[in-house]
């Protein structure tokens, strides 16, 4: 068992399926394959516009998966209702804009703060683990604690972009490390995700205190060449 858990995001299996309006490749099959290959959890993002994962995927994966399902949702009443009905063990609340290609930044924790607090409370009352997807800054870590989240997931997009472009990333790593340290100190479980590749995951895994990585786009892309099983095993080796 690796020290850092690997959450495998399979949204883009659904993206490929939806590109042709077919019923394959199957996100359920990918989830079960990820489970068999050593993933510690499977992540899906049920977007408002259902551009990749849809309600039927959620239902099927929820009923068949034995490892925890991590459902990413926007902070809306509609998504809360779905989450409370399907009750996946892990919930990650993320910002969502219709026009964006991917989740472009962390949550604005000051927007409808009381609503967010109530949402977290309701999810936790049902025994679900609640994480907030935030930027690596100390203010958001403190606010996450005040909102009573169980975990935070640090948005690693900026750091990953710098790594990919061979630019200096030491400042960004420092920001992430400070956020992780404060999160741990406050008793929050700290996760990381967005844009991670073999290279950036390897660098980030050296930071102490991160408990879980959630990785999707690169992982699904790499699977085209070497297969989902091999890619998951390689990530597990890198982050352990
Ligand atoms: N974590 C969260 C909260 C996300 O929203 C996403 C992307 O949707 C990821 C992790 C995975 O990012 P990527 O697909 O770039 O690996």
Q: Convert the pLDDT of each residue in 162-204 to its tens digit.
A: 999 999 999 999 999 999 999 999 999 999 999 999 999 999 9
HSE of 66, CA atoms in CB hemisphere, 13 A: 7
pTM for the full predicted model: 0.96
Is the beta carbon of 7 within 6 A of some atom in ligand 1?
no
Q: What pLDDT, on the 0 to 100 scale, is given for residue 98?
A: 67
Q: In the structure encoding, which two tokens stand for residue 144, read together?
A: 């996450």
Average pLDDT over residues 126-153: 97
Exposure string for 124-163, b = 16+ CB within 10 A, e = fewer:
eeeebbbbbbbbbbeebbebbbebebbbbbbbbbbbbebb
**Percent of the chain's residues with pLDDT above 70:** 99
Q: What pLDDT, on the 0 to 100 scale, is given for residue 3?
A: 80
Closest-CA residue, ligand 1 atom 4, reads: 194
- 172 CB contacts (<8 Å, ≥6 apart)? 136, 158, 159, 162
The span from the CA of 206 to the CA of 156, in Å, is: 14
- Residue 56's H or E segment, with its range, is helix 55-64
In this predicted model, what pLDDT tens digit does every residue of 81-134 receive, in sequence order?
Answer: 999 999 999 999 999 876 777 777 899 998 889 999 999 999 999 999 999 999
Q: What pLDDT, on the 0 to 100 scale, is given for residue 96?
A: 82
The span from the CA of 64 to the CA of 85, in Å, is: 16
Is the beta carbon of 236 within 6 A of some atom in ligand 1?
no
Best residue among 5, 6, 9, 144 to mutate for probing ligand 1, ranked by most atoms within 8 Å of CB: 9
DSSP 49: T
Best residue among 43, 136, 160 to mutate for probing ligand 1, ranked by most atoms within 8 Å of CB: 43
Task: Transcribe 119-163 into DSSP letters.
Answer: HHHHHHHTT-EEEEEE-S-HHHHHHHHHTT-SEEEEE-HHHHHHH
Confidence band, pLDDT 50/70/90 cuts, at residue 9: very high
Is the beta carbon of 94 within 6 A of some atom in ligand 1?
yes
Q: Residue 168, SS3? A: coil
Which ligand 1 atom sits closest to the C-alpha of 45? 8
Examine the pLDDT at 1 and tell me if it is beyond 60: no
Specify whether domain 5-146+154-239 bears CATH 3.40.220.10: no
In this predicted model, what pLDDT tens digit does every residue of 30-52 receive, in sequence order?
Answer: 999 999 999 999 999 999 999 99
Which ligand 1 atom sits closest to the C-alpha of 72? 3
Mean pLDDT value across the chain:
96
Active site residues: 45, 72, 194
Average pLDDT over residues 151-160: 98
Q: What pLDDT, on the 0 to 100 scale, is given for residue 103?
A: 74
Q: What pLDDT, on the 0 to 100 scale, is given for residue 104?
A: 77
Best residue among 92, 217, 219 to mutate for probing ligand 1, ranked by most atoms within 8 Å of CB: 217
Is the beta carbon of 104 within 6 A of some atom in ligand 1?
no
Q: Which residue has the tokens 């956020």?
A: 179
């Amino acid at each position: 068992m690796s020290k850092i858990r690997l959450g495998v995001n399979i949204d883009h299996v659904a993206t490929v399926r939806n590109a042709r309006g077919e019923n394959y490749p199957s996100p359920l099959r990918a989830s079960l394959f990820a489970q068999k290959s050593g993933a510690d959890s499977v992540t899906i993002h049920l977007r408002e516009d259902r551009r990749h994962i849809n309600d039927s995927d959620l239902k099927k994966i929820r009923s068949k998966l034995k490892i925890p399902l991590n459902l990413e949702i926007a902070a809306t009443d509609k998504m809360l209702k779905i989450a409370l009905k399907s009750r996946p063990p892990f919930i990650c609340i993320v910002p969502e804009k219709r026009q964006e290609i991917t989740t472009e930044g962390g949550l604005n924790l000051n927007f409808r703060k009381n609503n967010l607090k109530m949402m977290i409370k309701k999810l936790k009352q049902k025994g679900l683990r609640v994480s907030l997807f935030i930027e690596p800054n100390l203010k958001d870590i403190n606010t996450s604690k005040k909102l009573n989240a169980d975990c935070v997931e640090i948005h690693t997009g900026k750091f990953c972009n710098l790594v990919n472009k061979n630019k200096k990333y030491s400042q960004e790593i420092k920001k992430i490390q400070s956020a992780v340290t404060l999160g741990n100190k406050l008793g929050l479980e700290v996760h990381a995700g967005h844009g991670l590749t073999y290279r950036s995951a390897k660098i980030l895994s050296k930071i102490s205190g991160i408990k879980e990585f959630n990785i999707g786009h690169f992982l699904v892309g790499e699977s085209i060449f070497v297969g989902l099983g091999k890619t998951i095993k390689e990530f597990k080796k890198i982050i352990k």
